Each structure stands twice: as structure tokens, then as C-alpha cells.
Amino acid sequence: MPRYLVVQAPEDGVRLITLQRPEALNALCTELLAELAAELESAERDPATLAVVLTGSRKAFAAGADIREMAERDLVGILNDPRVAHWQRIASFAKPLIAAVNGFALGGGCELVMCADIVIAGEDARFGQPEINLGIIPGAGGTQRLLRAVGKPLAMQMVLTGDPITARQAQQAGLVSELTQPELAVERALQVAASIARKAPLAVRLAKEALLKAGDTDLATGLRFERHAFTLLAGTVDRDEGIRAFQEKRPAHFLGQ
Ligand code: HXC
């Protein structure tokens, strides 16, 4: 049983993971990150899980790395930091990951949001990279993914001042896909996840991979990957079913084959 997560078994193909460390505003201590990485690996292996929603509390999605734990680490400790491997496992989750964000998403919390594919935020959410106030810089994607998500001027402003932005600013900048009333963020994220879970799993998986390629490769390589993935899907049972269902004017029943 995880100590810092509440996990709701898959319903309609969607697994809900809630960060639960309220005494520290869901600060991402090593144990919490290890639990999250393990939970996502289990979700990846589970054929009944087709999408995952990740959320925190109304006050905080996550307030960043655990500063108390950071205070105890010296340079050698940081070089051998087990959290690096946990972050890599979280960021490489292959199924769709939807974040439902309320309250603070700061530092590692904002970086965790950027590991998600889709971000639904309550209007009171705040996104920031305040590491500069601690004399450090972001260390889990907060310079690289943030710049790609919101562009250079805003990323520079956020990282160099440490000042957070509002949910509305985050949506305008492209960090958030949809805004909701705070109390509806999780429900809306579950709806979006359930809609994805009804699609053909192989197509969803390759669509995610192809879209992520756009962020880290040149256009010609990305287009080649897209063409290969498109061709691969032409040989699937689900592609035949999708086209047949359209012609027969009925909903498609995908099998993941
Ligand atoms: C450990 C934290 C914490 C954190 C909050 N707490 N953030 N503990 N690590 N990141 C704890 C507080 O110490 C406090 O515990 C309790 O949570 C409630 O927090 P308060 O500060 O009392 O709440 P509030 O006044 O509402 O302020 C909320 C806040 C503030 C603005 C979010 O807590 C804050 O600035 N937190 C730090 C945010 C931050 O700098 N994050 C970046 C971390 S560096 P007690 O026991 O005192 O009640 C980072 C690097 C990533 O993320 C690198 C990845 C590899």
C-alpha cells in the first residue's frame, strides 16, 4: 500500500491517482516519487488501465521538491540522487496522463504537471518555478519543458523571478489545456480520460508518441515517425473496426489489436 498516494482502481479504463501528503502540501519527497513511479509502471502493465488522471488537493497539486529533504543532501547525495530515476520513469509513462490541478503547482509540482499530456486546471491554480529563491534552478524539466510549453519570454520571467502565474495565464500560454471551476477539475479530467479510454489503444499510444516527437526532433524526422506510425496502424484490427463502424453508423468497439 502506498503511503503518499490514494489510488482508485480503473473504472471505464481510467485509473485515478491522488497525491496525499497534506502536511507538506504534497511536497515530492523521495518516497512519494518512488511510489508514483511504481504506480505508473503498474498502470502501464495493466490492460484495464487505458488512461491515468493525476491530481493533488484543493490547496496544492504539489508545492515542489521536499525542501527539508533537500537541506540534508550534499553534492555527492545530489549526484547519486535516486529521484532522478523516479522522474525519468514518470516522464516516460506511455499511456495518456491527465493532470487535474488545483492550488499550488510549484517547482517540482509544476514540472510534474509538464510530464502530463493534458492539463485541466481549476481557476485558482498557480504555476511557478520558484527555485531561484532557494539559490538553485529547476531540475526536472522546468527549464526545458517550460520553455517549449510557454515560449522564451514567459519561461524566462517565471524561472528568473520565481513568481508564479495564474491558471488563466497558464492556459493562455499553453501550459493548461482547459480551465474549470476548482471543484470540477477532477471530474472534467476523468471525463476527458474516459473519452480517450474509449478510443483504439494502439492508436492512442502511437498518437502520444508522435506528438511528443514533435517537441524533441526536427520536422523531417517527426514527419517520418508519423508516417511509420500511421502505416503500422493500417495493419490493426481496430482500424478495420473503426472504419466499419463508421460505415455501419454504430459506435466502434476497439480491442487494442
Ligand atoms: C517541504 C513544504 C514545502 C516544500 C510547503 N511545505 N512546501 N515542505 N517542501 N516544497 C510545508 C511547510 O513547511 C509547512 O509545513 C506546510 O507545508 C504548509 O506550508 P505553508 O508554507 O505554511 O503554507 P502557505 O503559507 O499557504 O504557503 C504555501 C506555499 C509555501 C506558497 C506553497 O509553502 C511555499 O512557498 N512552499 C515552497 C515552494 C517552493 O519553493 N517549491 C520549490 C521547491 S524546489 P509546517 O510543518 O511548517 O507547517 C524544487 C526543485 C525541483 O521543487 C527539483 C526537481 C529535481
Catalytic sites, residue numbers: 65, 108, 111, 131
Q: Which residues line ligand 1 (CB under 6 A)?
A: 24-25, 27, 63-68, 83, 104, 106-108, 130-131, 134, 138-140
Tell me the average pLDDT of the chain.
96
Closest by CA position to 195, among listed 42, 44, 13 = 13
- pLDDT of 127 > 90? The answer is yes
Q: How confident is the model at residue 221, as a pLDDT?
A: 97
- pLDDT of 76 > 90? The answer is no
Tally the residues of the chain: 257
Q: How confident is the model at residue 10, as a pLDDT?
A: 83
Question: Using 50, 70 and 90 to split pLDDT, how confident is the model at 205?
Answer: very high
Q: What strands, in cross-sheet order, belong to the sheet with 126-128?
A: 60-62, 104-106, 126-128, 165-166
Axis crossing angle, helix 30-45 with helix 82-91, rounded to the nearest 10: 30
Axis crossing angle, helix 82-91 with helix 108-115, rounded to the nearest 10: 30
Alpha-carbon distance of 126 to 166, in angstroms, equals 5
Q: Report the separation in Å between the CA atom of 43 and the middle of ligand 1, taken as the mean of its atom positions.
A: 29
Radius of gyration for the alpha carbons in the chain, expressed in angstroms and rounded: 19
The answer to whether residues 103 and 58 touch, using CB atoms and an 8 Å cutoff, is: yes
Alpha-carbon distance of 98 to 113, in angstroms, equals 9
For the segment 198-216, the average pLDDT, to the nearest whole number, is: 96
Question: Using 50, 70 and 90 to split pLDDT, how confident is the model at 79?
Answer: confident
Q: What strands, in cross-sheet order, belong to the sheet with 5-11?
A: 5-11, 14-19, 51-55, 97-101, 118-122, 178-180
Nearest residue by C-alpha to atom 13 in ligand 1: 24
- pLDDT of 179 > 90? The answer is yes
- Neighbour count for residue 201 (Cβ, 10 Å): 21
Percent share of the chain, pLDDT over 70? 100
Question: Using 50, 70 and 90 to split pLDDT, how confident is the model at 73?
Answer: confident
Domains (ranges, CATH) in the chain? Answer: 5-197 (3.90.226.10), 201-247 (1.10.12.10)
Question: Using 50, 70 and 90 to split pLDDT, how confident is the model at 77?
Answer: confident
**Secondary structure class of 152 (helix, strand, coil):** helix
Q: How confident is the model at residue 210, as a pLDDT?
A: 97
Question: Using 50, 70 and 90 to split pLDDT, how confident is the model at 119?
Answer: very high
- Nine-digit cell string for 257: 489489436
Q: Report the separation in Å between the CA atom of 63 and the middle of ligand 1, taken as the mean of its atom positions.
A: 5
Strands (E), the chain: 5-11, 14-19, 51-55, 60-62, 97-101, 104-106, 118-122, 126-128, 165-166, 178-180
- pLDDT of 74 > 90? The answer is no
